[in-house]
Amino acid sequence: MPHVVTQACCGDASCVYACPVNCIHPTPDEPDFGTAEMLYIDPDTCVDCGACVTACPVGAISPGHRIPETQKRFASVNADHYRDPSPDAVRFPVSALWRKPLAPIEKPRSLHGTPDPLRVAIVGSGPSAMYAADELLKHRQVHITMYERLTEPFGLARFGVAPDHPATRSVVNLFNTIAQNPRLRILLNVEIGRDITLDELREQNHAVLWAGGAPTDRPLEITGVDLPGVQSATSVVGWYNGHPDFVTAGPRLDTERAVIIGNGNVALDVARILTADTNRLAVTEISLDALAALRDSQLREVVVVARRGPEHAAFTLPELIGLADGPARVWVDPADLEHVDDDAVHDIETAEKIVLLREIAAGPKPEEPYLRLAFGLTPERVLGTDRAEGVRFRRTTTDSEFADLDAGLVFTAIGYRGRPVPGLPFDDARGTVANVAGRVVADQHPVPGLYVTGWIKRGPNGFIGTNKTDSTETVAKLLADAEAGLLSPAPVGV
């Protein structure tokens, strides 16, 4: 039976390169790679060799006969991606290039004319940093020093992935393997600007690659957002994952309803953990403090509120399938699906989401505590005087209809945002370091020896594995500049 990509797909495309018959799409060189919510195996082309299983760093691919019960839906989801749209069916814009054979993987180049050793500093040790290191270390001249502010490496791979997603968290094993390379040293508990300056890094290295992520939250600018009881969803993620910056960020769970504003995957993660069976969480890597607090929680309902309709949901299809078919208790009010604009559905992933939401809405209301997906409500203000007591929403399609939702806790989950890095030009509109394809640019000119990758380069989107393609692009620019003699002069002491 053909193999199937399932929920944990991280999008790093290792499987694509391992596949001998090019049956996994979109590939990184196809236009829909940047927007696809996962990768898909064509069941008609798959030769069942299992090479993709070995290549996948998060165990997201199963042989068809061995798919876990909760992931069975992915067999049809993979196949649907390849179905021929008949003249009567909705035509989905699938890449015209999808059958194009992949370019052969570039062999490590010998980097003629580059310094040997070629010293590179990488700031950050999260997924984009580790994928960049992996790519750089293919070249024997490269020696990397990686700087990490925390006392543990791997950033969001360690502190950002929900504890009930062990497969996704297992990408840490890949990063541990990369970290074994003797030409990579990782310095923990070192902060740039506090312990060493960017200028010093530039003096000591031929190139500096900034991979510091997007460490802040996009602010929600409505009245009442500063009240106690309102906090960012990412602080809750940090809290239940034991991130040292968020040990005291635990929410007061002595209220019956929480509202989460925004419906991306972060909102889903937080809602799922807050309503999970704590006996299931007990066998995960959740922080013990968070587990104890959740055992005493009074929450009965966590409402994930989107300002737009289900046809624009920010959560991804694999996450919705995991929610619907896994142990989570999830509910959708059928009234929220009455106004779905089917004409606005232009891709198969959204179409599948709507089918699934309708299925959930047709089912019974689950036992408490459950999470509810609500749509079409724009937040107007947080209600309450001394602390949050609810949220006033405007029905998005109207100007004058409002709905108040009582809630003792309000979490904002409207996306991350990059922070300016002292010494690097900042693109305030995008919340990124100004760059072109990873080369830092100032006044429209590349700054020699300075590069970026990850969320601080492209903005806070995509999955852990998206950083592989992103970092490969940046590293290619760095190495081309090295060969062209454009990097910083010989580092001090080299």
Name the residue nearer to ligand NAP (CB basis): 347 or 483.
347
Distance CA 201, CA 208 (A): 7
Q: Angle of helix 127-136 relative to helix 466-483, nearest 10 degrees?
A: 40
Name the residue nearer to ligand NAP (CB basis): 111 or 314.
314
Structural tokens at position 451: 């590069």
* CB 235 to ligand NAP: min, Å: 12
* CB 419 to ligand NAP: min, Å: 15
Question: Under rule CB under 6 A, which residues in 353-382 are in contact with ligand NAP?
Answer: 379
Distance CA 129, CA 147 (A): 10
Choices 15-23, 246-254, 361-369, 413-421; region in contact with ligand NAP by CB under 6 A: 413-421
Structural tokens at position 245: 């910056």
The residues, any chain, with a CB within 8 Å of residue 105's CB and separated by 6 or more, are 17
42 lies in the site for ligand NAP, by CB under 6 A: no
Of positions 167, 178, 190, 220, contacts ligand NAP by CB under 6 A: 220
* 3-state class (DSSP) for residue 228: coil
* CB 413 to ligand NAP: min, Å: 5
Distance CA 464, CA 170 (A): 11
415 lies in the site for ligand NAP, by CB under 6 A: yes
312 lies in the site for ligand NAP, by CB under 6 A: yes
Q: How many residues does the chain have?
A: 494
* CB 223 to ligand NAP: min, Å: 13
Please check whether residue 448 is in contact with residue 487, taking contact to mean a CB–CB distance below 8 angstroms: yes
Please check whether residue 306 is in contact with residue 376, taking contact to mean a CB–CB distance below 8 angstroms: yes
Of positions 262, 431, 454, 491, contacts ligand NAP by CB under 6 A: 262
Choices 44-52, 121-129, 279-287, 313-321; region in contact with ligand NAP by CB under 6 A: 313-321
Name the residue nearer to ligand NAP (CB basis): 184 or 271.
271
Name the residue nearer to ligand NAP (CB basis): 205 or 412.
412
Choices 76-84, 135-143, 251-259, 458-466; region in contact with ligand NAP by CB under 6 A: 458-466
Name the residue nearer to ligand NAP (CB basis): 147 or 463.
463
Please check whether residue 120 is in contact with residue 209, taking contact to mean a CB–CB distance below 8 angstroms: yes
Name the residue nearer to ligand NAP (CB basis): 171 or 360.
171
Of positions 185, 344, 461, 485, contacts ligand NAP by CB under 6 A: 461
The residues, any chain, with a CB within 8 Å of residue 292's CB and separated by 6 or more, are none
Of positions 280, 300, 307, 387, contacts ligand NAP by CB under 6 A: 307
163 lies in the site for ligand NAP, by CB under 6 A: no
Distance CA 423, CA 372 (A): 44
Of positions 145, 181, 265, 278, contacts ligand NAP by CB under 6 A: 265
**Judged by CB under 6 A, how many residues of this single chain contact ligand NAP?**
25
- How does strand 409-412 pair with strand 230-232? parallel
Name the residue nearer to ligand NAP (CB basis): 126 or 460.
460
Of positions 183, 300, 308, 358, contacts ligand NAP by CB under 6 A: 308
263 lies in the site for ligand NAP, by CB under 6 A: yes
Please check whether residue 39 is in contact with residue 25, taking contact to mean a CB–CB distance below 8 angstroms: yes
* CB 155 to ligand NAP: min, Å: 13
Name the residue nearer to ligand NAP (CB basis): 427 or 483.
427
Distance CA 39, CA 4 (A): 10
Strand residue runs (E) in 150-288: 184-187, 207-210, 216-217, 230-232, 257-261
Of positions 15, 225, 267, 323, contacts ligand NAP by CB under 6 A: 267
Choices 112-120, 194-202, 250-258, 264-272; region in contact with ligand NAP by CB under 6 A: 264-272
* CB 227 to ligand NAP: min, Å: 17
306 lies in the site for ligand NAP, by CB under 6 A: yes
232 lies in the site for ligand NAP, by CB under 6 A: no
Please check whether residue 413 is in contact with residue 230, taking contact to mean a CB–CB distance below 8 angstroms: no
Choices 112-120, 143-151, 332-340, 414-422; region in contact with ligand NAP by CB under 6 A: 414-422
130 lies in the site for ligand NAP, by CB under 6 A: no
Choices 61-69, 223-231, 310-318, 326-334; region in contact with ligand NAP by CB under 6 A: 310-318
* 3-state class (DSSP) for residue 69: helix
319 lies in the site for ligand NAP, by CB under 6 A: yes
Distance CA 240, CA 32 (A): 34
Distance CA 101, CA 41 (A): 15
Distance CA 6, CA 1 (A): 15
Distance CA 129, CA 134 (A): 9
Please check whether residue 249 is in contact with residue 411, taking contact to mean a CB–CB distance below 8 angstroms: no
- State the Cα angle at 246 between 242 and 250, rounded to 5°: 90
Residue with the shortest CB distance to ligand NAP: 264
* CB 397 to ligand NAP: min, Å: 13
Distance CA 187, CA 197 (A): 14
| Helix/strand number for the chain, H first, E second | 16, 24
Q: What are the residues binding ligand NAP (CB under 6 A)?
A: 220, 261-267, 269, 306-308, 312, 314, 316, 319, 379, 413-416, 460-463
